[in-house]
């Protein structure tokens, strides 16, 4: 009797051990591992993501604000809250794919354009040039020649579809004004600060052009410095800002449009003069 009980317990124990082994998961062969969850494939050549529209709108409006304040012109907005309304509206226009560019213009007493800073919005990032300015390029225009200013967006075609979303008092169908003779050049800083999603172009009338004499030249000829009256500090010249290629050398007479930057005065639309 006692023996049969012992044998029965042994059989039950053996069956329990077999059931326990069957419940164990197989041990890993190559060390510990975790449960792998498949992740969605990411294309190698996926295009870069477009920055938030509000960020692009904010950079544009705040650049306009800096320019207008520098030239002592009153912006369309009276305070920061109203400026936020313009930022909001540009964001809405971009979201509705109804805006490709915006610009701020300074007008002379003859109602012709003396200066224009135009920003173009790009859904795809474009190549960035080296930024030699670290800030906006502000031309040295005579203050007494500036009569007023205006901020414009274009081409806004479908505004009626989303006008109820806008906050600022926009006026449609504002015509273009003629510009004085002048020069156009690219804003390096605009492209850099936006990751290539904004392209800036400046127009400056010939009223800002000055004469200068090259005083020193980089050994490789890439850049130079010039004395440009009436400015007491040298003006930085880079060969990329020349209207056409020509070599720098000490004593060379040049004409240029000086612009103020955080790095100091720099020359734009540089030409050799006889």
Terminal Cα distance for the chain, rounded:
128
Confidence of residue 158 (pLDDT cuts 50, 70, 90): confident
Domain identity same for 82 and 195: yes
223 in a domain, yes or no? yes
Range of the domain at 235: 210-272
Q: What is the pLDDT of residue 118?
A: 94
pTM: 0.75
Domain identity same for 249 and 201: no
Domain identity same for 234 and 129: no
Number of domain units in the chain: 2
117 in a domain, yes or no? yes
Confidence of residue 188 (pLDDT cuts 50, 70, 90): confident
34 in a domain, yes or no? no
10 in a domain, yes or no? no
> CA torsion angle for 180, 182, 186, 188 (degrees, to 10)?
-100
Angstrom distance (rounded) from CA 232 to CA 28: 77
Per-residue pLDDT reduced to its tens digit, 82-133: 999 999 999 999 999 899 999 999 999 999 999 999 999 876 655 555 555 5
Domain identity same for 142 and 194: yes
13 in a domain, yes or no? no
41 in a domain, yes or no? no
Q: What is the pLDDT of residue 2?
A: 40
Domain identity same for 175 and 215: no
Domain identity same for 232 and 141: no
Per-residue pLDDT reduced to its tens digit, 160-176: 899 999 999 987 767 88
Domain identity same for 163 and 268: no
Query: To which residue do tokens 């130079």 refer?
Result: 224
25 in a domain, yes or no? no
Domain identity same for 124 and 235: no
Domain identity same for 148 and 255: no
> Any idea what the CATH number is for the domain that residue 133 is in?
3.30.900.10
Domain identity same for 74 and 102: yes
Residue 17, burial from CB neighbour count under 10 angstroms (0-12, 13-18, 19+): exposed
Q: Of 181, 206, 231, which closes a domain?
A: 206
Domain identity same for 97 and 57: yes
* ω into 154 cis (within 30 of 0): no
- Cβ atoms 252, 214 nearer than 8 A: yes
For 169, what's the count of Cα atoms within 13 Å in the CB-facing half-sphere?
3
132 in a domain, yes or no? yes
Q: Of 206, 229, 260, which closes a domain?
A: 206
Domain identity same for 215 and 201: no
Per-residue pLDDT reduced to its tens digit, 237-262: 999 999 999 999 999 999 999 999 88
């Amino acid at each position: 009797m006692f023996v049969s009980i012992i044998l029965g317990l042994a059989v039950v124990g053996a069956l329990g051990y077999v059931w326990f082994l069957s419940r164990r998961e197989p041990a890993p062969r190559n060390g510990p591992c975790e449960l792998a969850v498949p992740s969605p494939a990411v294309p190698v050549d996926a295009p870069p993501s477009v920055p938030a529209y509000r960020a692009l709108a904010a950079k544009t409006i705040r650049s306009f604000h800096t320019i207008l304040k520098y030239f002592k012109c009153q912006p369309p907005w009276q305070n920061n809250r109203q400026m936020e309304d313009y930022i909001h509206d540009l964001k809405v226009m971009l979201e509705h794919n109804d805006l490709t560019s915006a610009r701020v213009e300074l007008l002379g007493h003859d109602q012709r354009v003396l200066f224009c800073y135009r920003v173009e919005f790009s859904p795809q990032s474009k190549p960035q040039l080296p930024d030699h300015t670290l800030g906006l390029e502000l031309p040295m225009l005579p203050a007494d020649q500036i009569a007023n200013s205006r901020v414009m967006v274009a081409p806004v075609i479908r505004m009626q579809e989303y006008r109820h979303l806008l906050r600022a008092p926009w006026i449609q169908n504002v015509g273009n004004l003629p510009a004085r003779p002048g020069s156009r050049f690219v804003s390096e800083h605009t492209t850099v600060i936006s990751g290539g999603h904004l392209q800036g172009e400046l127009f400056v009338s010939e009223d800002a052009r000055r004469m200068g004499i090259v005083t020193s030249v980089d050994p490789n000829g890439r850049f130079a410095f010039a004395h440009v009256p009436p400015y007491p500090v040298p003006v930085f010249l880079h060969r990329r800002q020349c209207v056409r290629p020509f070599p720098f050398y000490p004593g060379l007479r040049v004409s240029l449009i000086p612009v103020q930057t955080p790095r100091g005065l720099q020359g734009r639309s540089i030409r050799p003069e006889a």
